[in-house]
Amino acid sequence: MSPRATKTRTVTPRRVRLLVATRKGLWTLTSEATRRTWKLVGPQFLGHIVHHAMLDSRDGRTLLTAARTGHLGPTVFRSTDAGRSWKEAVKPPAFTPDSGRVVDHTFWLTPGHPSQPGTWWAGTSPQGLFRSADGGVTWDGVAGFNAHPQRKAWCGGDQDGTPDGPKLHSILVDPRDPLHMYIGMSSGGVFESVDGGADWHPLNQGVRADFQPNPDLEYGHDPHCVRFAGGNPDRLYQQNHCGIFRLDRPATRWQDIGTGMPRSVGYVGFPMVAHPYDEDTAWVFPMDGTAVWPRVSSGGKPAAYRTRDGGGTWKRQADGMPKTQAWWTVKRQAMTHDFFPTVGVYFGTTSGEVWGSRDEGRTWKCLAAHLPHIYSVTLA
């Protein structure tokens, strides 16, 4: 077992606020510090497909939302008053006209490094990386990725990838170094930059790609979600199409940590959540990835799984969840945590329910229901 992370637990927050982004708009779910009574407010952007909504943790009040409608193009909305009012980006993420590529939707938003207060990063479908230097008002493509000579080989065609389109996601900025970044691509794999995005290299050794004729590839993998371990940015957790993996830098070979999952449940899922204070603790939410990939809870019995030893073993956490005939699952952006001393864990389902745990996953309660298909749940 690795040494425990040294990050200290913060003082108890005064409230929890979750941004719930759905296929039909954005809602906000708020609780006082007891985390017992929740208030749902919304919708905003009713009718928009909202893939991601993120708080700028650097100022605590700026929010960005990635949205499109079924028939109109993709855009980004920005609020500087914690969501009371919104303005559309003057120049949303878009590829250069000469590229021939078209952004279908902005899928992922990440605030930049604390030393770069106006910087935001966005990942799109198909795979593109964009940067804003003015807090999300205008966006430019990151040429070091979008125009990289290997980009097409890494990503495949824009028509390849997941049923909802190939995606660039999991944009991680090293809290110690704004030039050091990771991205995940479905498909493509995990890539690293040490120069602020000017160049990228694949980082996929040890990760399986069972869907490829040669499973030991340099790139072409399908990471679903990649997260820093809490308090330790030298450790990465990855929920992948073909398993669950952990990487401890400076090593470059991922370790398979999905073998401890029950065989009847498997290791396929989308979200990955790392405990904010303990580098050895993380959660996944498995789904049925057998046969034609039904993408529902295994056997209709949803459950989170938690490791407390860096992925060596996993414990089922389903107390309070339906015991049978619950055929929903959780998308990659739809699971998160809060920063209470006893961490709260939250997820939104494909059937429009938000679930939460006040005790690190031991017990669960449905906090909201009857929402549209949930795409992301983030702390704001």
Partner 1 sequence: MLRSYTDGAAQVSVTVDTSVPRLSDVLAALDAAYPGMRFRMIDEAGRMRPHVQVFVDARIERDPLALVASGAKIMIVGALSGG
Instruction: State the residues that interact with partner 1 by CB under 8 A.
Output: 47, 69-73, 75, 88-90, 92, 94-97, 99-103
Token reading at 369: 């229901």
Phi, psi of 97, deg, nearest 5: -55, -35
Shortest gap between Cβ of 47 and partner 1 (angstroms)? 7
Query: Would you say 295 or 365 has its CB closer to partner 1?
Result: 295
Query: Would you say 45 or 283 has its CB closer to partner 1?
Result: 45
Shortest gap between Cβ of 78 and partner 1 (angstroms)? 12
Q: How far is CA 288 from the centre of its chain?
A: 19
Shortest gap between Cβ of 100 and partner 1 (angstroms)? 6
Neighbours of 368 (CB within 10 A): 20
Alpha-carbon distance 64 to 139, whole Å? Answer: 13
Shortest gap between Cβ of 290 and partner 1 (angstroms)? 27
Shortest gap between Cβ of 106 and partner 1 (angstroms)? 12
Query: Would you say 27 or 139 has its CB closer to partner 1?
Result: 139
Alpha-carbon distance 297 to 284, whole Å? Answer: 12
| Pairing of the two strands 128-132 and 38-44 | unpaired
Shortest gap between Cβ of 95 and partner 1 (angstroms)? 5
- Give one DSSP letter per residue of 199-237, joined into a string: --EE--BT---TTSSSSS-SS-B-EEEEEEETTEEEEEE
Strand order across the 243-248 sheet: 223-229, 232-240, 243-248, 255-256
Alpha-carbon distance 202 to 221, whole Å? Answer: 10
Query: Would you say 3 or 163 has its CB closer to partner 1?
Result: 163
Q: What is the largest CA-CA distance in the chain?
A: 54
Query: Would you say 105 or 227 has its CB closer to partner 1?
Result: 105
Alpha-carbon distance 212 to 81, whole Å? Answer: 47
How far, in Å, are 245, 253, 341 from residue 235 at the CA level?
Answer: 11, 12, 22
Alpha-carbon distance 154 to 199, whole Å? Answer: 13
Query: Would you say 30 or 138 has its CB closer to partner 1?
Result: 138
Strand order across the 15-22 sheet: 38-44, 25-32, 15-22, 374-379
Shortest gap between Cβ of 1 and partner 1 (angstroms)? 49
Token reading at 60: 């605590």
Shortest gap between Cβ of 96 and partner 1 (angstroms)? 7
Query: Would you say 120 or 285 has its CB closer to partner 1?
Result: 120
| Pairing of the two strands 335-337 and 345-348 | antiparallel
Query: Would you say 10 or 96 has its CB closer to partner 1?
Result: 96
Query: Would you say 137 or 366 has its CB closer to partner 1?
Result: 137
Alpha-carbon distance 238 to 254, whole Å? Answer: 9
Shortest gap between Cβ of 91 and partner 1 (angstroms)? 8
